Structure 1
Amino acid sequence: RHERLQALAERLAGLGAEPLVLAADLADEAAAQRVVKEAEAHFGRLDILVNNAGVMYLEPVAEADLGRWRHMLELNVLGLIASTQAALAGMRARRDGHIVNIASTAGRVANPNAAAYSATKFGVVAFSEALRREVYKDNIRVSVIEPGVVETELRDHIGHAATKDALNAWAGGMRQLQSQDVAEAIAFCVSRPPHVNVNEVLMRPTDQER
């Protein structure tokens, strides 16, 4: 959403940064690779890639909209893989770089009505570990962040009304993580000394049991 990116860029510019706005549908593999390459070309290098784009379509398997689930798989998994692939050549050439993939507690615990979403997030966790083992000799670090309930618009994506209502009621009964909490976990991972790779960060609200 270009207008939101532009508003953020204006805030960052006011702080002295020089942001580049690139809007794309990251479910499109070509677009996911394009923005990585354009960012790299603009700045001359890409040191950190954070794969954060995703949707959460929750519904019972028997009633699932497979079109929605296909889109979720394309965005949450294939888009992440495509952007990562685009970043690897430059990072390998410089023997430096950090890839941060955002998964979820749903990548650790599979719950009813979240079968496909959990499948995508289990996939992100598995991909991240396999990637780490492929690129560690190139001095490239890989981290996966697995947040629990975060107070964002993610739950707005749910098309199954009963599931959405139940999840919102459950989340509303706890002190939810904030976007800044996840951002600070990312910042911690990427600011470690070069010999330290924080592989996984599993984080939940204090009030969240599962």
Structure 2
Amino acid sequence: MNNGIQNKVIAITGASSGIGKATAELLAAQGAKLILGARRADRLKTIVEIIDQKGGKAAFLEIDVTNREDLVKLTALAVEKFGRLDVMINNAGVSQLYKMEDLDVEGWEQMIDVNLKGTLYGIAAALPIFKGQGTGHIINVISTAGISIVPTMGVYAGTKNAVRTISEALRQESQGRWRVTGISPGYVATEFASNIKNEEIRDTIQQNADQMAIPAEAVANAIAYAIKQPDNVDVGDMVIRPSVQG
């Protein structure tokens, strides 16, 4: 019996750790054919080797989502290796948290480049393939930060809410040709906080995560649920967070 995932060709950005890695491992175990992208090629190579050893099918490409051509190469690899692309998971993301008055303009630009433009580049790389096939699925990993606005997260939440708005417009424009899903994780046990430059906020975020974070596999399960629905069922928005998170 087809589980709705078996033999689907799925590309994932930010696949070298955290949610991306957990999603790759789960989907591979359910029979998906994977194209994994991230900056850390050594980690991707290890993930792909393990998937291969377990009888799965996967390939990887070192990419930077701020480079549009890298995303084009990622989706092209899916078509080259497996003949099509069924799902594009835009998972790569970064957070720099400061009060607006601290003017972390470099951090603003990084979040815009990775979270917003990186997602748009992924969409732009997948849509021509989906249009040719007449079907496809975009999954954008967003954040609960865009749902509950708090100090220091203004620009981060802004990039995530921009993706939320874009996702809904893309869904409506598709008129059933492709599906669009937004996944908004809360505190998840990943390396995400380690990239935050603001030491005080980084420590606070990490402490909160240590106390309540859910495993990355919980988000991977939500992504798998959206993928395995029938083609005429579009799971729009899902919030996956610890039950104790405010």
When normalised by structure 2's length, the TM-score is 0.81
Measure the CA separation in 1 of the matches of 2:157 and 2:106: 17
- The corresponding residue for 1:181 is 218
Q: Secondary structure at the match of 1:146?
A: strand
Supply the AA of the counterpart residue of 1:100: I
Give the helix-richer structure, 1 or 2.
1
Q: How does 1:74-93 map to 2 (within 5 A)?
A: 74-93=113-132
1:44 to 64, 83, 101: 83
- The corresponding residue for 1:162 is 200
1:56 aligns with 2:95: yes
- The corresponding residue for 2:43 is 4
1:126 to 151, 159, 165: 165
Q: Secondary structure at the match of 2:89?
A: strand
Contact 2:48 2:59 (C-alpha < 8 Å) held by counterparts: yes
Question: How far off its partner does 1:68 sit?
Answer: 2.1
2:139 to 94, 100, 108: 100
Q: Secondary structure at the match of 1:31?
A: helix
Question: How far off its partner does 1:202 sit?
Answer: 1.0
Identity %: 33
- The corresponding residue for 2:190 is 152
Measure the CA separation in 1 of the matches of 2:205 and 2:133: 44
Measure the CA separation in 2 of the matches of 1:155 and 1:137: 37
Measure the CA separation in 2 of the matches of 1:199 and 1:11: 32
- The corresponding residue for 2:30 is none
2:153 to 114, 137, 142: 114
Q: Secondary structure at the match of 1:16?
A: coil
Measure the CA separation in 1 of the matches of 2:158 and 2:199: 21
Structure 1 unaligned residues grouped into runs of 5+? none
Question: How far off its partner does 1:184 sit?
Answer: 0.5
Decide which moves more: 27-36 or 120-129. Answer: 27-36
Supply the AA of the counterpart residue of 2:205: L
Question: How far off its partner does 1:89 sit?
Answer: 1.4
How many residues align? The count is 207
Supply the AA of the counterpart residue of 2:58: P
Q: Secondary structure at the match of 1:22?
A: strand
- The corresponding residue for 2:107 is 68
Supply the AA of the counterpart residue of 1:123: A
Measure the CA separation in 2 of the matches of 1:145 and 1:62: 30
Question: How far off its partner does 1:28 sit?
Answer: 1.4
CA offsets per residue over residues 112-153 of structure 1, 9 Å max, x none?
111111011101111110110111332x10000001101101
Question: How far off its partner does 1:42 sit?
Answer: 2.2
Q: How does 1:3-42 map to 2 (within 5 A)?
A: 3-42=42-81
Counterparts in 2 of 1:81 and 1:155: CA distance versus 1, 3 Å: same
Q: Secondary structure at the match of 1:50?
A: strand
Moved segments of 4+, more than 4 Å: none
Question: How far off its partner does 1:74 sit?
Answer: 0.7
- The corresponding residue for 1:203 is 240
Measure the CA separation in 1 of the matches of 2:152 and 2:79: 39
Contact 1:28 1:75 (C-alpha < 8 Å) held by counterparts: no
Contact 1:100 1:142 (C-alpha < 8 Å) held by counterparts: yes
Contact 2:182 2:237 (C-alpha < 8 Å) held by counterparts: yes
